[in-house]
Copies of this chain bind each other. A is one copy, B any other.
Amino acid sequence: MNTRIIEPCAGAYQYPLLIKSLLLSGQRYAPQQQIVCGQSRYDYRQLNERIARLANVLTDAGIGPGDTVAVMDWDSHRYLEAYFAVPMIGAVLHHVNVRLSTDQIAYTMQHAEDRLVLVHDDFLPVVEALADQLPSVEGYIQLSDDAQVAGTSLKTLGEYEALLEAAGTHYDFPDFDENSVATTFYTTGTTGNPKGVFFSHRQLVLHTLNMATTLAAYEGVPLLRSEDVYMPMTPMFHVHAWGVPYVATMLGVKQVYPGRYEPNRLVKLYRDEGVTFSHGVPTVLQMVLNCDEARDTDLSRWKLLTGGAAPNEGLVRQMAERDIRVYTGYGMSETCPLLSLSYLRPEETELSVEQQVAMRMRTGMPIALVDLRLIDEEGQDVPADGVSVGEILVRTPWLTQGYCKEPEKGAELWSGGWLHTGDVASMQPDGVLQIRDRIKDVIKTGGEWISSLLLESLISQHPAVANVAVVGVPDERWDERPLALVVPVDGVSVDTDTLKQHLAQFVDTGQINKWAIPSEIRFVESIPMTSVGKINKKLIREQLTTQA
């Protein structure tokens, strides 16, 4: 298209969107505001100086533009410094998922070609075990919480704090292409090796600006403003801790980094440091709510953003009882991550916390700049009627542009020019999105998509059902048909007809259509689960296929 593009005049500075720009405002707005982690407590001026020192340490260690630096740490001020210093010298920050198996960690570190590894004492045994398998690694920097540095067989350049102490306080951070990769990390599926996603400086700056607006401008989601105090409870290696450390630093808010998650300590930090905003997956929030310290602490100041999985009803009720203001976000590793956020409409903010909880638990509304569609199997947009389901396809300025060194998998992710989330959702007429299922678990029958999760939820409402799993099984006529595995409550007898009748009421109320009632219900003693406590549907389908 022949739009008008005017060549910049001589001298005009074409400002690239680089992570270093996010550091300009925090120290101006709140130079004395604090960053807290364990015994460490310093202000934004010192944060900026420490980032410069770290950059000097990295450069002295031979790290240059394009090199990859891995971090293996709990949530800490050091990790925050690495969020900035590593990309700001033009290097790539590899967020190592320390929860993976040793084999998977080795795979990701080889695949990312890490050259330098910042490793916390707690992860030394893992790294020592696999150091032989990491030919690209030239050195290690040790991260110690104690004055007493742990002994190690690794060839370390020294301890982080000592190296920073010895380094210069100034670094002239260069300009470079805003499309340079800033971060990389790996996402694990049920099959195959972890896949590497990657994000550029431009993408992270745009994600930060947009998220800052999203968390501040809507009275129905007032999550993070200048006077808030932020403490992450989603690991910093996990999708940029949902992007919040960059937002918090740009705004100059007080930040509290809790190290390794220990529920009682998280609650103590909440109380003692005046924390107002945190985010975490439901299981972490559940742990926090159930710990001793939480029992006698007023938690009503806490604004919590949750996501990653749907919180169960018990947790939701518990949070309502504690007057905790909880909101739901939606995103994934491939999306930087934020795509949508629950919020309250003005009239809803008048309701009691308890009444608001269901609203806060909705997957919510796509945020600004997010172009989002729900499409069916034929690629047609599905109507926003709250019932029709389709796969969520998105376009935003902050989506991974593929998978590292796996062009075919990238092309699949981006089939048709839209990022396929693999999530199936419905959209209410008022624009509220509700995730229904993963596309691989959805049951495709007679041209309709049926949510296995919804069926499980409805079946589990029957008092005789202790546990239930629903999967699709191949069907010649209908393509697939739902099949339910049901574990009855101990000593209670229940049969297929009873459960089908139970489901018929939801057909009457319009929550499901009649094709959704499983053709077959099998009563079993137990349901196969994955190591993280999810129903292992892949295994169930395999077992069913083998039996057939």
Contacts and interface: CB of A to CB of B under 8 A. Distances in A.
A420 to B, nearest CB: 10
Contacts of A158: none
A349 to B, nearest CB: 9
A419 B9 CA distance: 11
A101 interface: no
A250 interface: yes
A6 B401 contact: yes
A369 B227 CA distance: 20
Nearest to A8: B401
A544 B318 CA distance: 80
Contacts of A9: 401-403, 407, 410-411, 413-414
Interface in A412-441: 413-419, 430-431
B368 A5 contact: no
A5 B203 CA distance: 13
A370 interface: yes
A90 B3 contact: yes
A396 interface: yes
Contacts of A370: 24-25
Contacts of A546: none
A219 B209 contact: no
Nearest to A20: B371
A328 to B, nearest CB: 16
Contacts of A210: 209
Contacts of A407: 9-10
B218 A226 contact: yes
Given A209-B209, A218-B226, A24 B371 contact: yes
A335 interface: no
A537 interface: no
Nearest to A175: B1
A2 interface: yes
Interface string A11-45: 11111010001101100110100000000000000
A149 B65 CA distance: 64
A348 interface: no
Contact of A206 (B31, B209, B227): B209
Interface residues of A, number: 81
A251 interface: yes
B213 A209 contact: yes
A365 interface: yes
A181 interface: yes
B1 A176 contact: yes
B10 A410 contact: yes
A13 B335 CA distance: 13
Q: Which of A225, A366, A367 has the most CB of B within 10 A?
A: A225
B225 A12 contact: no
A66 interface: yes
A419 B14 CA distance: 11
Contacts of A215: 217
B11 A414 contact: yes
Interface of A: 1-6, 8-15, 17, 21-22, 24-25, 28-29, 31, 64-66, 90, 92, 174, 176-177, 179-181, 198, 200, 206, 209-210, 212-213, 215-220, 224-227, 250-251, 343, 346, 365-371, 395-397, 399, 401-404, 407, 410-411, 413-419, 430-431
26 contacts: A1-B65, A1-B90, A1-B176, A2-B66, A5-B177, A5-B180, A10-B407, A11-B411, A11-B417, A12-B414, A13-B399, A15-B395, A15-B396, A15-B397, A21-B369, A24-B371, A25-B368, A29-B343, A29-B431, A209-B369, A212-B213, A213-B216, A217-B217, A218-B225, A218-B226, A219-B226
Question: Which 5 residue pairs spanning A and B have beta carbons closest together?
Answer: A9-B410, A9-B402, A3-B180, A11-B414, A216-B217
Given A11-B415, A216-B216, 6 more contacts: A11-B414, A12-B399, A15-B369, A22-B368, A29-B365, A213-B251
